[in-house]
Structure formats: C-alpha cells, structure tokens
Structure 1
Amino acid sequence: MKKILLTIAIVFAVLLVAAAAVPYLFKDQIVAKVKSVINQKVNAKVDFKAFDLTLIRSFPKMGIRLNDLSVVGIDSFANDTLANIKQLQLDLNLMSVIKGETYEINAVSLQEPTILAKVLKSGKANWDIMKPDSTAKPADTASASFKAALEKYNIEKGNITYDDASLNFYLKAENLNHSGKGNFTQDIFTLATVSDIEKLTVKYGGIPYLNGVVLDANLPLEMDMKQMKFTFGENKIKLNELVLSAVGYLAMPNATDMVMDLKFDAQQSDLKNFLSLIPAIYAANFKDMQATGKFGVDGVVKGTYNEKSIPTFNLNLAIKDGKIKYPSLPSAINNIQVKANVANPDGVLDHTAVNIPAFHLEFGQAPLDGRLLVKNPMSDPFVDMALKGNLDLKQLTTIFPLKDMTISGNLQADVQAAGRKSSVDKGQYQDFKASGQMQASNFLYKGKNVPMPVSIPAAKMTFSPKNITLSNLTAKLGRSDFQANGSVNNYLNYVFKKNQLLEGNFNLTSNYIDVNELMGPNVVQESKSKEEVPLAIVEVPANINFNMALKANKVKYDKYDISNARGALQVKDRTVYFKNLGLDMVGGTIKMNGSYTTVNPKKPKVDVDFGMEKVDIQQAFNTFNTVKLLTPIAQYAKGSFSTNLKFNSDLDDKMMPIYSSLNAEGLANIIQAIVDGFEPVNKLANTLGVSELKRVEVNNLKTKFRIEDGRLKVAPFDIKVKGISMNVQGSNGIDQTMDYDLVLNVPRAMLGSKANDLANSALASLNGKLGTNVSVGETIKINADLMGTFLKPSIKLKYGAGEGSASNAAKAAVNQVVEEKKAELEAKAKEKVDTLKKKAVEKATQEIGNKLKGLFNKKKKDTL
C-alpha cells in the first residue's frame, strides 16, 4: 500500500511539475507566433501590457492570457480606440500546442472589454483592419498558426458601442454579460446564448427606440455555418418588464446582404409591462404603480438588408382600456386608448409610414385627444396631426408623484397641421394647413429643484402656417416680471429643414428684471452672502434672428442697479446687438450701441460705443472694475463726468474683460470734480512745497484718451489749480504703474522767499556779465516726471534732485529758471550786438554814399 501511495504521489508531483513547466517550454514559441500574426495581418496599433501562459487554471486546455489589450485605429480612425480589454484569455487544445503546427482555439473569454464599432458615412468601418491577403507563401504560414475550434465564449462586464453613420443607427450596451456554447467545428449545431445588459440604448434616425432599458435574454440559435443561416429556437427576451419572443431566421448569403424573416410579439399583454420601457416611469416608483388595461405589440420583418434596401416591416401597437394610478394619490389617468402602426411595404425607406389614427386619455376627468400621420419621411415628409385638450395642471399632482414640486394652472390646446414639407420650402403656405391656439392661465411652477418660481398669469399663442403669434403674455420668473407680445416666423422651415433661421419680433416690458437670478441659481444666494457671485459666460444661441424692443423700469445685473432701461436688441448669428440702448445708472445716463458675440463660445467678445452723461465719479469707481484698475484717482474724487467711449475686448469665463486684449478710445469731460487725498498729488505738492496742490478742483476739463495693452494713455490736457497752471500727459497701467509728464507754471510767490532770492542773485550775475537787464518774472516753469505706482509715487524734477524737501524743489525750480532765462539773456545780448553792428554799417554806408555823391558832383562841374 505504501508503494502504491508513493507511486501515486510521484505521478501527481510529476503532473504538477509538467503542468507548471509546459507553459514555460512553449511560451516563447507562442508569443512569437502571436506577434507574427498581429504584425502581418493587422492595420492597427495593437498593444498589451502582459502575456501569460497557464495550464493549471485551464486544464486540460492551455490558456493564453493578454492583460490590458488595446487596439487603436489608424488613418480615418486614428483617434478611435476599437477595443480596450482588461483581460483576454484564449484556451488552446493542448495537443495542438505540443504538435506545434496549428493551434486550436477552444474558448475565448473577455473581461471588462470596452469596444467601439464605428462606421463612417462613407461606409468605412473601423474594425476593417486586416491587411489584404498576399500571394506570398510566408503569409499562408502565419494565417494557419491559429485555428478557431470554439466550444464556448463569454464576455463579462463589457461596454459595447455600435455607431453607424451610414445607416444613422446607434446601439450602446452598458455592463454587458454574454456567453455562448456550441461546437463551432461542426457545420450545423445549436448555439445557446445567455445575455444580460444593465442599460441598452438603441437609436435610429436620431430617435431613441430603447433608452437605457434592462435586457435579459435566453436565445438559442440553430447555426448552419455553410449556409450562414441562423434560426431562432424557443426563446425569451425581456426588456425591463416587457417579455417578447421571436421566431424566424437571419441569413448572410454573401458579404453585403443580410436576409431575414422574423415575427415577434409580446408574450404578456399587461399595460404595465409596456410602461416599463418609458425611462421616467420605470425609474420612479414603478413597483408601486397600478396599471390596468391590455397592451399588444406584434410585428413582421421580412426581406434583405444592405446599403440599398431595407426589409419590409409591419409593426402594430395597441392599448385598450388603460388606466394608470399611484395608490398614494387620489386621481388617475383613465380611459387610455391608442392604436399605432409603423409599416414599410416594399423595402424603400421613403415609403415608411407612421400612423396613429387616434389616441385618447383622460387626466382625471379632463380629456386629451389627438392623431398623427407621417409619410414619405425621406423625400418630402407629409404630416397630418391634431391635438385637443383642456388640462388642469394642479390635477397632475393628484395623478403623478411630484416630490418637492408645486404646479398649477390651466392649459388649453386646440391645434391642427397638415401638409408637405415642400410646400413650406417653396413658401406656399396656403398648401400647408396650420391653425389653432394654445392658452395658459394662472400657471405656477416651483419646487426644490427649480432654479426659480415660474408664474404665468396669462399667455396665448395662435398658430398659422406663416407664424406663431404671442399675445397677452404676463409672466414672473423669480423676482423678475415680464409683459410681452410678438410673433415667431419661419417656424415650419426651422422644424423641417436644417440650419434655418427662426425669426421673431417682440415687445418686452418689465417693472423689474434680476439678470443675476435668471443667469444661474447660485445668484439667488446673493442675499444670504455678501460675497460677490461670479458671472458665467452667456452663450448666444445660433440659427435665430430675434428683434426685441425693450423697456424696463429697473434691472439688476451683477452689482449694477439700472433704471429706465430702453432700446432695442437683436439676437442674430450668435451675437446680441445693442441698438440705442439707454440705461440710467451710477448717477447718470449710459447710451450704448454695439455687440456681444459668442461665435467662439470659449472666447466671447464685446464691441460697444458708450455714451456716458453726468455719471457720478464715486459710483462709477465702486461699480466698474475697469475704472478701479485704470483710473484709481476716481476713489479720491467727488463729482461727475461724461464720456464718449469706443470699447472692444475679449472676455474671460467670468464675463470680465481680458485687459491684454482691451482696446478703447474716447473723450472724457470732467464736468466738476474735487480730488483730495490722492497720494501722487500729495507727493507733488510736498515735493514742490506748494500745499495748494493737495486739493484739486476741476471744472469742464476735456481730454482724449485710449486704452491699449493694459494701459490708459492720456493725451495732453491743461488744468489750473489756484493760480497754478499745469499741462499733463502720459499713461498708467492695470499694474498700477505711472509714467506722466508734468509742466507747471507756479506763481513765484508760492515757492517762498528763499527761491526768489536765489533766482534774483543768479540772474543779476548773468545780467552783469552780458550787459542785459532780465527779470525773473511772476511765474516759474517747472518740468516734472510722475513715476512709480499710485501707492508709492516718485517725482523727478528736470533740474535738480528727484526726491527731497521743498527747499530742494525750490533749488531745482531756480535752476530751471536760470537755464530758461540764460537763453533769454544770450538772445538779448546777441540782439544788442547785432543792433550795434547794424548801426555801424548804416553809418559807414551813409558816409560812403555822401563821399560818392560829392565825387560825382565834382566831375560833372569839370565836364561843363
């Protein structure tokens, strides 16, 4: 017995060692062949982080495991990842590995794959990555390295997307688990598949037919591999709570065609099962909902599907005697009656028709009736629809569970439309019948998740083929109120054709508009916090052309309090145009023409001509950041000003100017102002020893200016302060730096006796040397440079020290006087010399003339 046990142990150990050793013996050979096949056969970027071989986990098969496998396309799909698979395992027939000729793949397993199958409008598919077959024999060897002999496959936690732009078809399966078992080595066999999908979305033509539904399916298929025909066995497909079954087959006789003959219907005919497909209903209290009535759906799909044709189909849906009620609420939707048919008789997509001849339901006791017919959807859509009903919105709260929400009011609708799109395209509105009206009264909508309460006491819309007329609209959104009337034009073209303008003309009046509240819910918290709430970019919509006449008594925008807003707005080409817009704010009136555009939504621009009349300086400083940054002197000024300003700039994501891009020019008129306590002015006064400069009074001062490269550049202007005249020009920046040139004419008496004595002594010395008599004069000219920053200014005088006491400034002033008078003295001395020279020349000339005259007279006498 011991020998037997020992023998068994030895054999078992050998097997374990062999199971562990065999993968290593063949690893290099298999890896080489895997890479060889990939490199020779695929037009794509294929990569994997780890390669592992195992026999123990997959015995009696040998397992190949690739971790973090990715396949990225090239050319048209260079930015698309076809596949990203956390783990791919292939189980190989062990004997085929040992023989080393052709490796048979018996099983495939994909763990957490993310797969994007994409087809362009041209029909080119991103999975078509195999290189064309070569006639060279080495390629034949590579292609024979692996052979599919599948017995099973499975996908765990997969995310699969199929996006086909050529067919306008989209499918997405999230958290997919799928497995299949069958002997693929046989020509005819049964493939048993089991699938479950957490969220399945299917769209065709942009319409979501399934939107995030749960799918469970047991679907056996009879596989005929020679004929490529797949026949459905007894099956069950569950979509949310709706259970379907299908019979028939799919066949792929060639590379381009898919032939099908399928019939399907619902195995259960309860209305509640159908309602489970509606995401909003399924997600909210579906289990508690009571739904009675009969639901039926059946369909037939038969024919060939390829690039040129689709199968014929006929789908029927019906709801009879339906009722929906939540047990916790008193009322219900009663008497639901619907019949619908979607059919295509010949496989031509344009011959598809959607027909709902009538539907009826009752919200409590209030009926809603309608119909819909759509034909020729591709070439020239024909629509025939009607809707009529009177709905008490408050009754909805007795039918549907609306948590943390209040809604009330009455909606009346009676609209009809019938006609072809071509009639609209040609402007033949008489051939497209559209009429009726919708009316709202005492509408109120508010709740926890509603940014602001919406109240519409009255509104009426009247429909015609040409326009929708809005009349008698009174509304209140949060703290804002509106009264409006007008019309929307070209709405049929806008609905039926791409890139058509929706046009409108409106008159809007209001007592109060809170733009902050309308732009975002966070602004409502402004009253609870003193912190400023940053604004966000307001994107102007495309494909509309609205003209609006505006009149509002009061407007709140950012921290601006505006009154008597009036003018016109036009919204066009992603741009808002301001036309003669007038605003009373900051103590004066602002008139504005210009535009705000979001052609590039990430980089909005503003280009405006401002006219500001009699604006209060202090209010402007406290209101406008641009004034704070570029004219900080306004903080120390009291008074009013007017200006005409042309202004353009890019805006940042908080709707503030990007100062490096800001350009502006204009004319400012300081009507009346007093500047007191401004540090640069104080510095100048202290440097010159002229205290009168510390308090500056200005009246009717006009100057030109421009803003560029983040600096305010001021053209030369003159100002007079208590007998001191001053010429100023220069610039300052948003970095608070200054660079101003000042020329002052200061009364000599203001500089003190010491300065006068120094000036008189210096001039007396020069007068003595040059023999002139020039006096100092009553005023002294002083040149100064104002530099530094607004908080730390520096004064540099042209003649003398840049910084210092008043005595140093006096010396500098005297030096400047002497330099300027020196030129005057030299000019007068030169003038004196020139005068003496002139007199000498004149005297010499006269004497020579007299002598010549005497000489000529003498000769004349001698001749006689």
Structure 2
Amino acid sequence: MSKWLKFSVRAVVAIVLLFIAAAVVIPIVFKPQLMQIAKRETNSMLNAKVDFDDFQVSLIKGFPNLYVGMKGLSVVGIDNFANDTLVAFREFGVKVNLWSVIDMTNIEVNSVILDGARLTARVLPDGQVNWDVMKPSEDSVEEVEDTAASAIKTKVALKLFQIKDARIAYIDDSSDMKVVVDNLNLTLSSDMGLSRTDLNLKTTVESLNFWMDGIRYLRDARLGFKATIGANLDSSYYTFKENSFSINQLKLLFDGSVSMPGDDIDINLNFKTPTTDFKALLSMVPAIYMKDFEDIQTSGRFSIDGYVKGVYNQKQMPNAFIALSVDNGMFKYPDLPKSVTDVNISTKVWFDGTNMDNTTVNVDKFSLYLGGNPFSMNMRVATPISDMQVDGNVTGKIDFATLADVVPMDSTTMEGLLESNLDFGGKLSYIENEQYDRFKADGQVKLSKFKYNAPDMPAEVNVKEVSMDFTPRYVNLQNFEMTIASSDIRMNGRLENFIPYVFKDETLSGNLNVYSNLLDVNEMMAGESAPEEEVDTSAMGVIELPKNISFLAKVDMKKIIYDKLEINNLFGSINLSGGVANLNNLSMEMLDGLVRMSGTYDSRDVKKPQVDFNFDMSNIDIQTAFKSVSTLQKIAPAVEDMSGKVSTQFNFGSLLDTTMMPVPSSINAYGKIQSKSIGIKNSKALAKLADYLKKEDFRNPSLKDVNLSFSVKDGRIFIEPFDTKIADAKMNFGGDMGIDQTLNFRAKVSVPSSYLGGLSTLANSLLGNYGAKLPQYIDVNLKILGTSTHPEIKIDSGGGSTDSKSSAKETAKEMVKEKVDEAKAEARKEAKAQADKLIADAEKEAERIRAEATNQADMIRKEAEAKAKKTEEEGKKKGPIAARVAKEAAKKIREQGEAAAQKVIDEADKKANAVIAKAKDEAAKLDK
C-alpha cells in the first residue's frame, strides 16, 4: 500500500471519527443553553403554565441541520381556566441550521413538525377566551428598541411544516357552538426562503363534528384538501393552481387568487362541483351518510357553484354567491320497500359584504315525495338588516310510519301524521307596528297520533294531537296533548310575535295553560323501568331558560314526582322572560303539609344560575322533609334525628352548581319556624347536656312551644335565642352552626330547685333567716362548642370558657351559696333602706312642724301690728298728747307680739329636732 493511500484512509477515518464526535458532543454542549432559553422565554411570555417532559437536541436526527424538540409539551391555563389544557403535543420539533445556532444571532428555521397535537379553544358565556395568554409588554419604546437590537433574530426558511394526528376542539359557550376535529393531518412543503415558490398543501380530517344550539349538523364527516398554490411571498399574492376540497363525497374545485398587500385581504375565488351525482350531495346528510351509504341506490343530478369576491377588512367583507340545484333526485335503500323521489331544489343566496341589507335568499323550490307523501316549500328573504321581507309557503303531508320504509331506523320507531298548509308574506315591521292587515300569515300545522321511541329515550313519547292555527297577529295553540310513560301534559294558549321569532330571533311571547294529572320527572329522566336506587337526578345539568321567550303560564298539576319529592295539587302561574322564571303564588301540597311559594330562577349566567324564593309552609312533617329534600340533608344532617310538624316562613337565595344543587357558601336565607313539639333523638350534643345536668329527660327530649328566627349566611346557620321547655326545665337557646357542622351555641337552662333535693331545704332554711327563700328555678349558663359529632359543653362565665367537669348539682351548690350571700346583702340593703326611710320621714315631719310654727308666728305678728295701728289712730283723734301716748303704747304692743311669735318658733324647732333625733336612734338600731 502506497503512502498516499495510507494517508487517505487515515484521513477518512479521522473525518468519520470527528463527525461522530461532533454529533455526540455538539448536542450535549448546546442542549442546556437551548433548554434554558425555551423554558425561560415561554413562561415569561405567557399567562399560563408551560411544561415539557424532555428537551431533545440532536445533530444525527436533523443532519445536516440541528434538531430541537420538546416531548410532552403542555400549556395549561390559570385563573378562570385553571387546570384547563389549552394545547399539548406528543412531540414538538424544529430543524434549524446548525451554523446559525452556533452563531446565536440569526437562527434559521427549516422545518416544523407537530406530532399528536391536542388543542382545546374555549369561549366562556361572558366572552372570555382561553387562548388569550400572551402577556402585555411592559417595556418602554426605548427598552424595546434596545432589546430588539440585541435579541436573537429568527429567519423562517421553511421547507416543511407538518401536523400529525391532531385533535382540535372549539367550544363556544357564548353562542352554544361546538366543533371537534379528530385525526387532522396536514403537510405543507415549499421553499419559503425564496420570494416565489409553490406551496404544496395536503390536509385530511378523519372526523368532523359540528353542533349549534344543541343540534348536530355534521356527524363524523371526512374532509380533504389538496392544493398547489403559487405564492409571491414578497407581495403576498397567492394563486390557486391544482386543488380540490372534499367533505364526505362532495367535492369542490377552486380557482382564483388571494392577495394581502397591506391590512386588506383581496379575494377573487370561484368554486364549483366537478361531479353532478346526487349521491355526493346525500353524503352531507348525517343520518344517511352514517348508515349503509355505499349501498344506497340514487339517481338525479345536482350542482353547486359560486364565488367570493372583494375586500375583507375591519369595515367590510367580500361579496359572495352560492347556487344549489337538484333535478329529479331519488334515493332508496336496497333492503327497504320505499324511496324518496322527485327531489327538486333550486336555491340561490347573494351576500353583499359592503351593504348587508342587500343580501337575499331565494328558495324557489324545495319539493320531494317521502314514501309517496308530498312535501314542498318555497321562501324568499330580503332586506334582512333594515326591515326583513319574508315570503313563503309550506305545504305537505308526512306520514312518519313511512320513514322506516325509507331510511334505516335501527331501534327507533316513529308513527303519526304531520299536515301543514301555511302561507306567509310581508315585512316584519308590519307585525311590530301591529299593521296585521298588511302581513299575510294563515294556515294550519297539525300533528296527530304521533309516537316516538328510541334507545336514548326513557320511555315512548305519545302525542295525541298538536294543532296550531296561524294568523298575522298570533299563533293559536288549540290543543297539545302528550304522554311519556305514566306522565301526561296538556296545553293550550296563544303565541305572539312568532314570525319575527323564527326569522330574526326576536322574543316570542304568549299565554299558556298547562295541565297534568301526573308528571313523574324520575321516569322521564331515568326510564320507567329503572329501579328507585338507580334514579340519579343529581346528574342533571343546569336548566338554561331561553332569553328570547316570554311566556305567562298558568299551571294546574294534580301530582308531580321529582327525586323523592311528591307534590300534589300544584296551582299558580309561572312567568318566563329573558332567561328568568318568576313563580307567582304557587300553592301545593307536599311533605304532609301545605306550601306556598313565590320567587325567581335566573339562568342568564349559565355558569352561575341562582334562585331567590319565598316560602310559607304549614304543618310540614320533619322526617318526610328530610328524606325528600337533598339540600336539607346536605346543610343540616342533624334534622335526620328530629320528628314532629313545623310551620315556617322563610326567604331562600343561593347560587346553584352544575347539578342544580345550592352552593353552600352562597346560601342566604332567613325566616321563622314554629312548632308545638319537636322531638330529638340520638343527638350527641343533647346527650352531653343530659350527662351534665344529670337528667335523662335531656337525652332524647321533646322541645315544647318552639318559635324561633333563623338565618343562613356565609356557610353558617344562625338561630336567634328562643325560649322552650324540656320536661319541667326551661331553656333559652341560640347561636350558630356551620354547614361543616361546627357548633357555637349558648344555652341558659333554668333548672327547677327541686332537682337539688335536700340541698334546696337547707338553702331555704338559711335564706329564711333573711326573710327570703330559694327561687323556683336556678339558671345554668352553658356553651355548646365542638362539632355535631364531637360536641363540647362548657360553663359560660361571661369571660373565658371553663371546661365543665362538675355536674349540675355541684354547680347548684355554688349557686345556693351565692343565693345565701345575696340574701344577706339583700337584708342589709333592706335595713338600710328602712333606716333611710325613718330619717327621711322624720325630716319631713320636722319640716312640717317648723312650717306650722312659722305660719302661727306670722299670724301673731299680724294681729299685734293690727292692734298697734288701731291704738295709734285712736290717740291721734284725741289730740297731740294722746297721740304721743298712743304711739308708745303701739310700740310696746309690737314688741310683745314679736316675742310671742319667736316663742312659737323656738318651741317648734325644739320639737322638730327631737323627732329627727329619735329617728336617727331607730335607724342606727336597724343598721346593726
């Protein structure tokens, strides 16, 4: 071997070894960097929890590029969408240019593969969406510019974008719509690094299901789309070359272009069917496509063609047109005796994207013979925005018994006759303005002797008759008679605004009379033959009331059975409006008593329906109520051990959960309960009380003359203190307990003193010394804490709680001592009061004596003054000398009168002082 050959061999071996080393070392070197970047960047950008099981970096798997992938990737929502998986992948992988990763300044992405994608897009009733997870940028403009300048740039040079085995679900609770796509596979290949390229797109869907307003319009439909699209990526101009779209056996071909020069999207597309076999159109009918479709015999031709042309932006939509025609269509199942023949359809729809009021719908012909029964209709709709104009006719007869002769019904059976002859025409404003003479609506729709039975129905539905007469003003429901198992419903009444309700979703109003001899809800939900233990009404979902129906229904039902409740003679009215049911003065016999109720059920927020009811119940049997009402079992299980009859008036408000059960924390209730006697047994709290009082009457007591007020709020039941009797003991009881069964009650038990035996005799002997005796009842104040299964009894001292380790008699001994001390204090208080009274009476007497003396002294002074003045006057008459002598005599008379008056006052004061002194001496004796 030459030296050159040896050198070449060694060089090749070295290169191979170097490549192998690079393939092993490079992923190990760059994996930590890329994994750190991936986790940091995804979680920093999203208001969601992003995680993945493994992060792969491989040069061998992506050679000559670097493969970067995440396995078990999931994005889980937060807040209102907590634990709701938005998207998940078995594997999410990209291939990037190796040298661009090493440079870390301009990463070039060549392919993206999404394997096993699971995506769930959800819209809540209030419009919130679970895909709005991008965090808003909090950076300033300068910071963004600086960051952008230094950030790693990504160049998309895709040659392959692939989705394998994806499942996509779109659930819109705000519009009651649901779309589920199963086993979606998509391959997009191209060289997007070029400005001009061909996009090769191939898409298949194994199963597409679509529901709207509870109706399933597509069932396991198969989709396919294959196209070659010429793309000018610089100008965003795309032209359709070879393409086909298929749904089941219906195929459409497209030609035209789509351009996006700016914010506008300019669309110029035409579509048509490449084949005209009527069978392809039948594949769009779920009930037909799902059963022996390949064996169906068909004839007839059909065509679909149309276009979409114009600009799409935030202000306008493109114009569109579609035409569907069927000529002499027919289909027949080979194993069935009858067929559908003479199917003729001619329908055209023009949509004006600039002025939607120019949109028109023409159903010029829709006719067929169903097993020999003719049915036809035509309809035209114009000016749908400003003032909708509708014209049409529906005429025909359908014998439902013939359906089984035309279409395989499996285990479903139907019979009965539907007859219709209805003409209508005019502007909806005529009805709204009550110009009924200008709107044409007359005819009748009648269903008779209808029977329907299916495996998913609890029992056979029998409709004896439904008869409706149409006029411009109203629809007269002459008769409606239906039975399901043993239940029956009869109705009649009038429906108004029917045409606007059908065509513009406006509010349908009316008055109905509803009658029933028996309505067994359990039968209707679980089936007539279901045993009692299998009836599961808790599986019931929220009952959503339509917002565009306004009915006043007068109800007269003889018997209703729901869960374990049996209701008899239900009378009253129900007003349904705007998604709210108002119950007005409903009266019924239930729970062995009489119930009257009013209130509302509000389902406008289907996630948080709520009730607000007022109840007036008379002579309700407690045991019957507990066994029949699940809510009572949930919030007050202790009622199970109670017996007797109660009357109650209360208001009850609560949110409801998804099974129509009250949410305990939201319950807000208040009212009163009255009963002559309520028996209680097996109560652990009362058993503790019996042990404490050493009285068995408290173990299984009967509460007498109960009259209490209660309320329920924040998950607790509050009972205002009320008086009752247990045996010969009086009790005042009140407090609160949680729906979690925690207790916080206070009880004031008035124990007869006879409970004390010889102790009461001793007490009365001691108290007799003070002129008192032991009261007939002794009060014991207690706290009842803990839970209903583990109660605690404590003495309520008014301060901190003290564990009750002593019996009632030991407590009573302490109370007797207190009573003796109280009697002593009372005696002292009485003696002091008597002493104070003696002194007070004496002071009053002394004041009276002094007052009389003052009056007597004043009389003496007045008499002396009068006598003195008379003496002076007589002296003046006799001359000057006599006047002078008289003046001296008058002076002496005044002096003698003053002396006599003072003597009376002094004697009275002495007497008054003596009275007070005597009283103080007697008071001092009493105080001792």
Alpha-carbon distance in structure 2 between the residues aligned to 1:58 and 1:863: 144
Q: Please list, as runs of the form range in 1=range in 2, the aligned pairs for 1:375-774 lying within 5 A after superposition.
A: 375-423=382-430, 426=433, 428-497=435-504, 500-518=506-524, 520-521=525-526, 525=530, 527-529=532-534, 533=538, 537-624=542-629, 632=638, 635-638=641-644, 640-671=645-676, 701=705, 703-709=707-713, 710-717=716-723, 719=725, 724=728, 726=730, 728-734=732-738, 735=741, 737=743, 739-742=745-748, 744=750, 746=752, 750-751=754-755, 754-764=758-768, 766-767=769-770, 774=771
- Deviation track 1:299-352 (CA, whole Å, cap 9, x = no partner) reads 456666666666666543322222222223322222212222334699865544
Q: Please list, as runs of the form range in 1=range in 2, the aligned pairs for 1:234-249 lying within 5 A after superposition.
A: 237-246=245-254, 248-249=255-256
Does the CA-based 8 Å contact 1:83-1:116 persist in structure 2?
no
RMSD (Å) for aligned C-alpha atoms: 5.9
Alpha-carbon distance in structure 1 between the residues aligned to 2:642 and 2:76: 65
From 316, 321, 330, give the equivalent of 2:328: 321
Evaluate the alpha carbon distance shift between residue 80 and residue 422 of structure 1 in structure 2; reply closer, same or farther with a 3 A threshold.
farther
**C-alpha displacement of 1:449:** 1.4
**2:781 alignment partner AA:** D
Does the CA-based 8 Å contact 1:630-1:712 persist in structure 2?
no
From 770, 773, 780, give the equivalent of 2:776: 780
Does the CA-based 8 Å contact 2:563-2:628 persist in structure 1?
no
**C-alpha displacement of 1:268:** 2.7
**2:511 alignment partner AA:** N
Does the CA-based 8 Å contact 1:738-1:786 persist in structure 2?
no
Evaluate the alpha carbon distance shift between residue 526 and residue 600 of structure 1 in structure 2; reply closer, same or farther with a 3 A threshold.
farther
Alpha-carbon distance in structure 2 between the residues aligned to 1:223 and 1:137: 34
**C-alpha displacement of 1:366:** 0.9
**2:759 alignment partner AA:** A
Alpha-carbon distance in structure 2 between the residues aligned to 1:275 and 1:494: 30
Does residue 363 (structure 1) correspond to residue 373 (structure 2)? The answer is: no
Choose 571-580 or 234-243, whichever is displaced more: 234-243
**2:777 alignment partner AA:** K
Alpha-carbon distance in structure 2 between the residues aligned to 1:108 and 1:807: 87
**2:710 alignment partner AA:** R
**C-alpha displacement of 1:760:** 3.3
Does the CA-based 8 Å contact 2:326-2:343 persist in structure 1?
yes
**C-alpha displacement of 1:835:** 5.4
Alpha-carbon distance in structure 2 between the residues aligned to 1:175 and 1:531: 35
**2:249 alignment partner AA:** E
**C-alpha displacement of 1:146:** 5.4
**1:614 alignment partner AA:** N
**2:477 alignment partner AA:** L
Structure-2 residue corresponding to 1:166: none
Evaluate the alpha carbon distance shift between residue 420 and residue 198 of structure 1 in structure 2; reply closer, same or farther with a 3 A threshold.
farther
**2:551 alignment partner AA:** F
Alpha-carbon distance in structure 1 between the residues aligned to 2:655 and 2:184: 48
**C-alpha displacement of 1:368:** 1.0
Does the CA-based 8 Å contact 1:636-1:678 persist in structure 2?
no
Choose 252-261 or 585-594, whichever is displaced more: 252-261
Q: Secondary structure, in 3 states, of the residue corresponding to 2:483?
A: strand
Evaluate the alpha carbon distance shift between residue 264 and residue 751 of structure 1 in structure 2; reply closer, same or farther with a 3 A threshold.
closer
Alpha-carbon distance in structure 2 between the residues aligned to 1:729 and 1:80: 52
**Unaligned stretches of 5+ residues in structure 1:** 74-78, 164-168, 768-773
Does the CA-based 8 Å contact 2:357-2:383 persist in structure 1?
yes
**C-alpha displacement of 1:755:** 3.0
Alpha-carbon distance in structure 1 between the residues aligned to 2:93 and 2:745: 71
Alpha-carbon distance in structure 2 between the residues aligned to 1:375 and 1:811: 96
Structure-1 residue corresponding to 2:828: 826
Choose 308-317 or 179-188, whichever is displaced more: 179-188
Q: Secondary structure, in 3 states, of the residue corresponding to 2:410?
A: coil
Does the CA-based 8 Å contact 2:680-2:700 persist in structure 1?
yes
Does the CA-based 8 Å contact 1:310-1:349 persist in structure 2?
no
**C-alpha displacement of 1:542:** 3.1
Evaluate the alpha carbon distance shift between residue 228 and residue 212 of structure 1 in structure 2; reply closer, same or farther with a 3 A threshold.
farther
**1:760 alignment partner AA:** N
**2:576 alignment partner AA:** V
Choose 455-464 or 684-693, whichever is displaced more: 684-693
Alpha-carbon distance in structure 2 between the residues aligned to 1:727 and 1:97: 84
Q: Secondary structure, in 3 states, of the residue corresponding to 1:590?
A: strand
Determine what percentage of the aligned residue pairs are the same residue: 26
Evaluate the alpha carbon distance shift between residue 90 and residue 71 of structure 1 in structure 2; reply closer, same or farther with a 3 A threshold.
farther
Evaluate the alpha carbon distance shift between residue 426 and residue 467 of structure 1 in structure 2; reply closer, same or farther with a 3 A threshold.
same
- Deviation track 1:782-803 (CA, whole Å, cap 9, x = no partner) reads 1022443677574859999966
Q: Secondary structure, in 3 states, of the residue corresponding to 1:284?
A: coil
Structure-2 residue corresponding to 1:269: 276
Does the CA-based 8 Å contact 1:786-1:793 persist in structure 2?
no
Does the CA-based 8 Å contact 1:633-1:678 persist in structure 2?
no
- Deviation track 1:221-262 (CA, whole Å, cap 9, x = no partner) reads 56678887665556555442234444x432538336666665
Does the CA-based 8 Å contact 1:23-1:62 persist in structure 2?
no
Choose 326-335 or 807-816, whichever is displaced more: 807-816
Q: Secondary structure, in 3 states, of the residue corresponding to 1:402?
A: coil
Alpha-carbon distance in structure 2 between the residues aligned to 1:266 and 1:373: 25
Structure-2 residue corresponding to 1:16: 16
Alpha-carbon distance in structure 2 between the residues aligned to 1:837 and 1:72: 91
Report the count of equivalent residues: 827
**C-alpha displacement of 1:370:** 0.9
Alpha-carbon distance in structure 1 between the residues aligned to 2:133 and 2:674: 67
- Deviation track 1:720-772 (CA, whole Å, cap 9, x = no partner) reads 95xx47352423524263634435373x6x447613430233124x43xxxxx
Evaluate the alpha carbon distance shift between residue 378 and residue 30 of structure 1 in structure 2; reply closer, same or farther with a 3 A threshold.
farther
Structure-2 residue corresponding to 1:770: none
**2:343 alignment partner AA:** I
Does the CA-based 8 Å contact 1:82-1:126 persist in structure 2?
no
Does the CA-based 8 Å contact 1:744-1:782 persist in structure 2?
yes
Does the CA-based 8 Å contact 1:801-1:809 persist in structure 2?
no
- Deviation track 1:91-111 (CA, whole Å, cap 9, x = no partner) reads 7699x9999999998877665
Alpha-carbon distance in structure 2 between the residues aligned to 1:679 and 1:253: 78
**C-alpha displacement of 1:456:** 1.6
Larger radius of gyration: 2
Does the CA-based 8 Å contact 2:322-2:350 persist in structure 1?
yes
- Greater percentage in helix: 2
Q: Please list, as runs of the form range in 1=range in 2, the aligned pairs for 1:5-154 lying within 5 A after superposition.
A: 13=13, 16-17=16-17, 19-20=19-20, 52=57, 54=59, 62=65, 65=68, 67=70, 86-90=91-95, 148=157
**2:765 alignment partner AA:** S
Q: TM-score, normalised by structure 2?
A: 0.71
- Deviation track 1:134-190 (CA, whole Å, cap 9, x = no partner) reads 9x9999999999585x77766555679999xxxxx9999764545566777888776
**C-alpha displacement of 1:697:** 7.0
Does the CA-based 8 Å contact 1:264-1:298 persist in structure 2?
yes
Alpha-carbon distance in structure 2 between the residues aligned to 1:631 and 1:191: 68
Q: Secondary structure, in 3 states, of the residue corresponding to 2:597?
A: strand
Evaluate the alpha carbon distance shift between residue 666 and residue 291 of structure 1 in structure 2; reply closer, same or farther with a 3 A threshold.
same
